[in-house]
């Protein structure tokens, strides 16, 4: 399936897209991922129809905003293959993804849907998570019946616990370790 980012844009459409992304980053940083898309359009100085033509859903907009971080997360993860065992690599990826999921207040709730928006970064993040899980399973560091969707559920739960419970982000590592202790091969 083609990614959203592969659609060629006219120069004015490209400028509008960048203004929408910049405005969305500001609005979501200030008010959370569930902030009004009308407010995003106003801040970008575009009509709401322009916003929806480029980003038909909130998740598509969030996916585009997350692209750079997810691409960097996936690329960074691949560099660890030679220096970390598969279980530790999966752990680091989960910690980074859980931390990323709290970049905007409320993003954690939508993480699973956002990762399915088919943007380049979302595809890279999902593919890397699946690759790491398979490596960890092959190395017998993780049980065979664990799926990537299981990991996403846990990452979402951890992110929500940190975001809504007022817990320090340093708890992410503790909570990931707690989960991984439960899914290790015995």
Kindly state the DSSP code that residue 4 receives in the 8-state scheme.
G
Q: Around Cβ 95, how many Cβ atoms within 10 Å? A: 19
Q: What is the pTM of this model?
A: 0.78
Interatomic CA distance for residues 60 and 20, integer angstroms: 12
- The candidate with the shortest Cα–Cα distance to 97, out of 87, 85, 107, is 107
Q: What is the mean pLDDT of the chain?
A: 86
pLDDT digits (tens, 9 = 90+) for 33-56: 999 999 999 999 999 999 999 999
Tokens 């999966």 -> residue: 90
Interatomic CA distance for residues 128 and 89, integer angstroms: 11
pLDDT digits (tens, 9 = 90+) for 111-134: 878 878 778 988 999 999 999 999
> Phi/psi class of residue 140: alpha, beta or left (left: φ > 0; alpha: ψ in -120 to 50)?
left
Yes or no: say if 17 and 10 are a contact pair by the CB < 8 Å rule.
Answer: no
- Parts of the chain with a pLDDT under 50: 1-5
Sign of CA dihedral 89, 93, 94, 96: positive
């Amino acid at each position: 399936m083609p990614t959203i980012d592969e659609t060629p844009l006219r120069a004015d459409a490209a400028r509008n897209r960048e203004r929408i992304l910049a405005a969305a980053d500001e609005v979501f940083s200030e008010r959370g991922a569930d902030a009004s898309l009308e407010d995003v359009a106003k801040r970008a100085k575009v009509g709401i129809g322009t916003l929806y033509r480029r980003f038909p859903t909130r998740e598509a907009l969030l996916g585009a905003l997350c692209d750079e971080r997810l691409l960097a997360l996936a690329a960074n993860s691949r560099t660890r293959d030679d220096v970390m065992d598969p279980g530790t690599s999966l752990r680091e990826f989960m910690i980074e993804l859980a931390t990323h999921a709290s970049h905007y207040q409320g993003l954690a709730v939508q993480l699973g849907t956002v990762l399915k928006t088919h943007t380049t970064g979302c595809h890279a993040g999902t593919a890397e998570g699946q690759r790491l899980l398979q490596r960890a399973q092959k190395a017998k560091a993780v049980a065979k019946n664990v799926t990537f969707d299981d990991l996403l559920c846990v990452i979402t739960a951890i992110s929500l616990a940190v975001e809504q419970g007022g817990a320090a982000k340093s708890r992410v590592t503790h909570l990931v370790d707690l989960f991984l202790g439960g899914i290790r091969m015995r």
